Amino acid sequence: MKIIDVRSLPIPDIKVVRFARFRDDRGYFTEPWRRSDVENDPATGFLNGLSFPQSNESYSRANVIRGLHFQWNPFMGKLVRTVSGRMVDLALDIRLASPTFGKILAYDMPSSPAEESSEWIWVPPGFAHGNFFTEETIIEYLCTGEYSPGCEAAVSPLAADIDWTLCDTELRHEFHEVVQGGPTISDKDRDAGSLSSWESDHRSNNFLYPDLSTDAA
């Protein structure tokens, strides 16, 4: 895994790791993940000590919205990449007392075979995760915890009380265009409820800041 660079998004706990593809006239080869490279690179220290016991793959059609999901017992951090197509990833801070509580980020992650590199986005515990798609897309994500159906919840991505002020304005506009055009979204996600309803739920006390900072994750 040749790590090119690592950067923080406007909520610094959310990281983007860019890694190289090796191209020739046949196509390309890449190592999306190699533990030793991550452990030996000081820029990826936020991933040290983590294991990924579950890997998921998801296919979505254009105008699909998924999320915003989170889990506890065990907590689930996610390392997510686009295999093909275009994903716009969404991460909502649900850590009680966090200075960015209730704020959401969107990050554009298209993937084309012609590109010289690809990216992972790291969404640690304490964030509700989702995405939307403007074309047919396959994504993969590595999870720090196995799925626990009795300990999961969600905030609807359509909730009116989500704060989009830190979000890229063009991506925010694209999201609302998908919403206005009639997205494909599960009833469970659409009806998941507002941020304030989750905040008043006693289970929200599982997500406290700074207990769920990157260093603690």
Q: Within 13 Å of residue 178, how many CA atoms lie on the same side as its CB?
A: 23
What phi and psi, each to the nearest 5 degrees, are found at residue 138?
-115, 130
Distance between CA atoms of residues 206 and 209, nearest Å? 10
Q: Is 204 exposed, middle or buried (0-12, 13-18, 19+ CB in 10 A)?
A: middle
- State yes or no: is 141 an active-site residue: yes
Among the listed residues 28, 107, 129, 141, the single catalytic one is: 141
Distance between CA atoms of residues 142 and 156, nearest Å? 23
Kindly state the helix (H) or strand (E) to which residue 187 belongs, with its residue range: helix 187-190
Specify the amino acid at residue 43. A
126 in Cβ contact with 207 (< 8 Å)? yes
Among the listed residues 69, 107, 129, 209, the single catalytic one is: 69
Distance between CA atoms of residues 132 and 178, nearest Å? 8
Active site residues: 69, 141
